[in-house]
């Protein structure tokens, strides 16, 4: 993505536009699936993913000015570059938004998440989130065990999760631990 300071909700394509293949995201440790959000309660693929990866906690949140208390403050916090000590798992049930992640050269990559998209960001990866110009997302949040909401704003390179992530980046050559789902 470009380095413009324009509205964070815009696509921020470089000129000329550059698109990143899914394999590149996989090399960075990101896992994704395309699922059926209209039938998520009965979706066997979602059930398989949750069981295989140990996602026992789930909730659903609406991010938009009308439904999220302290919206302006929270959207600014989501857009602060940070990492977590656990995976960040989001499944877009409605709407859309962007996850910005850093590549191995510390350049931003903007990942568009739309209805039906499920994304897993690895623990220790610097990232940020924003809505797109539609200003709405309904997302399922998943966790292994009890949820841990703590963001560690950059720099927090001393955290074990960050060191483990960087070690995996060096060792991984496109390997992926994804669960088969269609």
Is residue 86 classed exposed, middle or buried when 0-12, 13-18 and 19+ CB atoms within 10 A define those classes? middle
Q: Alpha-carbon distance 115 to 92, whole Å?
A: 5
Distances (CA, A) of 27 to 74, 93, 125, 145, 149: 30, 26, 12, 26, 25
- Residue 94 makes CB contacts below 8 A (sequence gap 6+) with 37, 115, 136, 137, 138
For residue 3, how many other CB atoms are within 10 A of its CB? 8
Pull the structure tokens for residue 93: 């049930």
Residue 132 near residue 113 (C-beta atoms within 8 A): no
Tally Cβ neighbours within 10 Å of residue 160: 10
82 marked as part of a ligand binding site? yes
158 annotated as belonging to a binding site for a ligand: no
The answer to whether 84 is annotated as binding is yes
Residues 6+ apart with CB under 8 A from 22: 32
**41 assigned ligand-binding residue:** no
Residues comprising the binding site for Ni(2+)?
Answer: 82, 84, 88, 127
Residues comprising the binding site?
Answer: 82, 84, 88, 127
Residues comprising the binding site for Fe(2+)?
Answer: 82, 84, 88, 127
């Amino acid at each position: 993505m470009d380095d413009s300071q324009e509205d964070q909700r815009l696509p921020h394509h470089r000129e000329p536009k550059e698109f990143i293949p899914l394999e590149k995201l996989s090399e960075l440790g990101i896992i994704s699936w395309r699922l059926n959000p209209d039938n998520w309660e009965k979706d066997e693929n979602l059930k398989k993913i949750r069981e295989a990866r140990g996602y026992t906690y789930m909730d659903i949140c609406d991010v938009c000015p009308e439904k999220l208390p302290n919206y302006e403050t929270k959207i600014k916090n989501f857009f602060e570059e940070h990492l977590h000590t656990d995976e960040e798992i989001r499944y877009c049930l409605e709407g859309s938004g962007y996850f910005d992640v850093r590549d191995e050269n510390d350049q931003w990559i903007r990942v568009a998440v739309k209805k039906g998209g499920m994304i897993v960001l690895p623990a220790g990866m610097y990232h940020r989130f924003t809505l797109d110009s539609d200003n709405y997302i309904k997302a399922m949040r998943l966790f292994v065990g009890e949820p841990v909401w703590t963001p560690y704003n950059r720099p927090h390179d001393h955290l074990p999760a960050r060191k483990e992530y960087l070690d995996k980046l060096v060792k991984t050559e496109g390997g992926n631990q994804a669960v088969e789902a269609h």
